[in-house]
Amino acid sequence: MSNLALLLQDVLQEPQLIDWEWIRENFWEDIVPAVQGHIFLSFVSVALALVIALPVGVFSARYRKVYPPVTFVTGILYSIPSLALFAILISIPGVTIGPAPVIIALVAYSLLILIRNTVAGLDSVPPETIDAARGMGLTNRQILFRVELPLALPVIVAGIRIATVTIIGIATIGAYINGGGLGQLIFDGISRQFPTMIIAGAVLATALAIIADLLLLSLERYLRPWARAGRT
Amino acid sequence: MIEFRQVSKTYPGSDDPVVKDLSFEVLEGEICVLVGPSGCGKTTTMRMVNRLIEITEGEILIDGEPNTAMSATRLRRKIGYAIQQIGLFPHRTIADNIGTVPHLLGWEKGRIRDRVDELLRLVGLSPDEYRDRYPAELSGGQQQRVGVARALAADPPIMLMDEPFGAVDPITRERLQDEFLRIQEDIRKTIVFVTHDIDEAIKMGNKIAILKQGGVLAQYDTPENILSRPDSEFVSSFVGADRVLKRLSLTRVGEMDLEQANGGTSGLPRISDRMTARAALSELLGSGQSRAVVEMEGENRLLTFEAIEALTSTAGQSA
C-alpha cells in the first residue's frame, strides 16, 4: 500500500502521465495478450457459472425448498472478499497459482446472481401461459424449453450482464495469483511505479466492462421482440 | 360424447371432496355449461376431462373410452382448451400461437399456415393484419378471439372452455358469445363450458349443469327446464328471482307465434325480429304502448303483452 501512496505522489508530479512510446513498443507483446487473457478469464468463468447456475436455477424454481439453502451457500461465496478467496483457494493442496483458481473464484462470485435471475425469470412467466401450454398437450420438457426458458431468457441475460461486469472487475485482482489478464499490467505498473501501465490496465478493463455491458444489453433487447412490439 | 361416471375428486390431505359423485353426459355437438357459485368445483370438473386434474374415483369416458386410455399429452392435443386468462404465448406471434397444437401434431408448414388464416377469418380477424403480430399488440377482445382460434386449431371434436369470454367488457363479451354461437352452428363441437354467470349459461348452453358447494350436481337439464322447473330451492335461488324474465331471453321475437297486423300500425313502436322476447318486453314497457310492430318475412305482425305472457306459460311444457 505504501507503494501505491508513493506512486500517487509520483503521478501527481509526473508531467507526462502516459508514455505513448511505451504503449507503441509493448502493444503486441504486453497489452494485447493482457486483454486476451482478461477476456478469456471472464468469458470462461461466466460460461462455466452458467452451466452450473441454469440447472440449479431451474431446479430451485421447481422445488422451492431447495432455493433458500442454495441462495444461502452462494450468498456466502458472494460475500467473501476476492483477495481472501484467492488466498483460500491457493492454500488448498493441489491448487497452484495461475488462471485455474482465478476462474474458480470468479465462477463462485457469479453463481448467486445467475441463479437468482434464473429463478426470477422463471417466476415471471405467467401461470396461465403455462396452464394453457399444458392444456394444449405440451410435455413438461416442451413447456420448459419452448415456453418458460424463452420467456425467462431476458431476465437471465440481465443476470449475465451484471455477473459479467462484476467479473471483469474482479478478474483484475486475479493477477495477484498469476491469473494473467489486465490486472497483470496494473500490478506490474505498481511495482515498477510506472503509471502508463496502470492507466492502460485500468482503462482497458473499464472499456471491456462497458463493451460487454452494451453487447449484453442489446442481446437482452433482441431477445424480447414481443415487448418492443407491445410498446408501440 | 363425454360421459361422467360417479366422478369424485378429493385432494390429498383433505377430507371433503371438491367434486362428489358426478354423473352426467355431454352429447355430441352440444354445449354443456357447468355453472355454480365459486368453490362448487366447476373448473375442477372441466379440468378432469383433459386430465389437468386427475380423478380420485369414477371415470370419464370420451366416445366410450376412458380418458386414461392414452397418455395425458396425447389426450390434450385432441381436446381444444380455452381459458379466461387466455394464456397466449407472449413471445410467439399470433400465427405461432394458433399453430401450437398443429405444430405439436407434426402438420406441414403450409397446412398450418392455411389453417391459421382460416381460423383468423373465422374469429373475425384479418389474417394479413394480425398473423405476424405479438399478443401484446392486441386488445383484450382480440386476444380472446385468438385464444378460441388456438383452441380450435387442430379441429378437435371436443373443447373445454373456462370462462373464455370472461376477461372483456360486457359489450365485447356479448358480441363474442354471439359470434361463438354462430361458429358453433357450423362446427358442432362437443363443448364443456364453465362460467359463474347464469345468464351466460342460459345463453350458451344446450344443457346446464348447476353445481353446488362441495361439487354436487344440483340439476342437469336444458336451460328451459332449469328456468321453468328448478329442482330445488338452491337452483331457483341460483337462477334468480327473475327466472321468468330469463326464460324470455331464450326466445327471439322472430320465433314467436304472432298475429298479423291489419292496418293501424302507425304510432306503434317497431321491434326487430332478432330481439329476444325479454328485450322486446322491456321495449314495450318503455314505450307506454300495449302493442308493437314486428316486421317478419315482409309482413307486419303485432307483438302484445299477451303473446309474451303465453311464452312464459307454455315454455315449460313444450320443452
Shortest alpha-carbon distance between residue A53 and chain B (Å): 23
A-B C-beta contacts closer than 8 Å:
79
Chain B hits for A152, CB-CB cut-off 8 Å, are none
Q: DSSP assignment, residue A125?
A: S
pLDDT value of position B242:
83
CA–CA separation, A40 vs B205, rounded Å? 66
Q: What is the CATH number of the domain that holds A71?
A: 1.10.3720.10
Model pLDDT, residue A11 = 63
Which 3 state secondary structure label does DSSP give B7?
A: strand
A150 to chain B: which residues are within 8 Å by CB? 91
Q: Give the pLDDT score at B167.
A: 80
**Full domain range(s) for residue A200:** 31-223
> Chain B residues with CB inside 8 Å of A145's CB?
none
pLDDT over 90 (residue A118): yes
Give domain status of residue A148, yes or no: yes
**3-class state of residue B175 by DSSP:** helix
pLDDT band at B318 (very low <50, low <70, confident <90, very high): very low
What's the grid cell of residue A39? 477476456
H or E segment and range at residue B162: strand B158-162
Q: Does A128 touch chain B (CB under 8 A)?
A: yes
Cβ–Cβ of A134/B77 closer than 8 Å? no
Predicted pLDDT at B31: 97
What 8-state DSSP symbol labels residue B37?
S
Task: Name the 3-class secondary structure at B8.
Answer: strand
- Cα separation, A98 vs A81, in Å, equals 19
Q: Can you tell me which residue has the cell 406471434?
A: B93
User: pLDDT by residue (tens digit) across B57-84?
Assistant: 999 999 999 999 999 999 999 999 999 9
Category of A161 on φ-ψ map: left (φ > 0), alpha (ψ -120 to 50) or beta: alpha
Q: Which residues contact B151 (CB under 8 A, 6 or more apart)?
A: B80, B81, B82, B159, B161, B164
Determine which of A125, A129, A130, A136 to mutate to test the interface with B (most B C-beta atoms within 10 Å). Answer: A136
Q: Grid coordinates in use for A12?
A: 501527481
- The answer for residues whose C-beta is within 8 angstroms of residue A6's C-beta and 6 or more apart is A193
Residue A127 inside a domain? The answer is yes
- Cα B57 to Cα A159: distance, rounded to the nearest angstrom: 47
Which chain B residues are Cβ-neighbours of A142 within 8 angstroms? 104
Residue A19 lies in a domain: no
Q: Band of the pLDDT at A229, cuts 50, 70, 90?
A: low
Residue with cell 358480441: B175
Judge whether B271 and B280 are in contact, CB under 8 Å: yes
Residue A16 domain flag:
no
Q: Is residue A12 a part of any domain in this protein?
A: no
Q: How many domains does chain A have?
A: 1
Q: What is the pTM of this model?
A: 0.83
The confidence score (pLDDT) of residue B211 equals 95
- A103 touches A45 (CB < 8 A): yes
Residue A118: name the closest of A69, A73, A71, A181 by CA: A71
Q: Is B119 exposed, middle or buried (0-12, 13-18, 19+ CB in 10 A)?
A: buried
Contact in structure between B56 and B9 (CB atoms under 8 Å): yes
Span B197-223, average pLDDT: 94
**Gap from B186 CA to chain A (nearest CA, Å):** 23
pLDDT tens column, B42-54:
999 999 999 999 9
Supply the ipTM of this predicted assembly. Answer: 0.84
The answer to whether residue A163 sits within a structural domain is: yes
